[in-house]
A and B are shown apart, each in its own frame.
Chain A
Amino acid sequence: AQSVTQLGSHVSVSEGALVLLRCNYSSSVPPYLFWYVQYPNQGLQLLLKYTSAATLVKGINGFEAEFKKSETSFHLTKPSAHMSDAAEYFCAVNVNTGRRALTFGSGTRLQVQP
């Protein structure tokens, strides 16, 4: 079975600062990894996904993530935070065997201070 751990349930950064949200996964087969963003009382929107084509994945709104197999990590970064980035972010994993549904981390709430 696969699992995801997101370190830090709350992260606070200043506007213009680097955003780093951490995600580590566990999977016995090659994983597919996703980052979603959720604004209050809304559904989830896909930011980016890793599907084994390239280890550095660029997504929407200036976010990117790097797949590091040796570290079993898929951390999300953005060079310069904007106030509109304040939201909850979820890392998720899926695989091509057995149950093919996303397994989510517990989420990280990002605060952006002016």
Chain B
Amino acid sequence: DGGITQSPKYLFRKEGQNVTLSCEQNLNHDAMYWYRQDPGQGLRLIYYSQIVNDFQKGDIAEGYSVSREKKESFPLTVTSAQKNPTAFYLCASSGGLAGSETQYFGPGTRLLVL
């Protein structure tokens, strides 16, 4: 089955700790995205990558970092600089660069601060 997997489903972060959220896709998609979802605010773009070894900041990149070493993988690190990391994180991918391309979403990771 083709799709996007995210792990873990729940993640707990201690103060001062960096944590990494995994996102893998087997759809052979070029573009991948990370969104943050907070209640009542919709989804906001953190980072996106349209090709391997290249990525761009979105609207709320501060306190986050990404890498894109392989086409199928786009991990997100939430660093200690992110002071309010509690949120639901969604990874997505799309097959092309056109604005009409559908973005497909993973099941999400919920990050909680201890």
Query: Which B residues are in CB contact (< 8 Å) with A103?
Result: 45
**Is A34 an interface residue, CB under 8 A from the partner?**
yes
Residue from B45, B99, B105 in contact with A45 in the complex, judged by beta carbons closer than 8 Å: B105
A-binding segment of B35-43, B62-70, B72-80: B35-43
The answer to whether B40 and A94 have CB atoms under 8 Å apart is no
Residue from A31, A43, A97 in contact with B106 in the complex, judged by beta carbons closer than 8 Å: A43
Q: Which residue of B lies closest to A53 (CB)?
A: B100
Residue of A100, A104, A107 with most partner-chain B CB within 10 A: A100
The answer to whether B99 and A46 have CB atoms under 8 Å apart is no
Q: A41-B108, A45-B105, A101-B33 are in contact. Are A106 and B42 (CB under 8 A)?
A: yes
Q: Which residues of B contact A (CB under 8 A)?
A: 4, 31, 33, 35, 40-45, 48, 50, 56, 58, 88, 90, 92, 97-108, 110
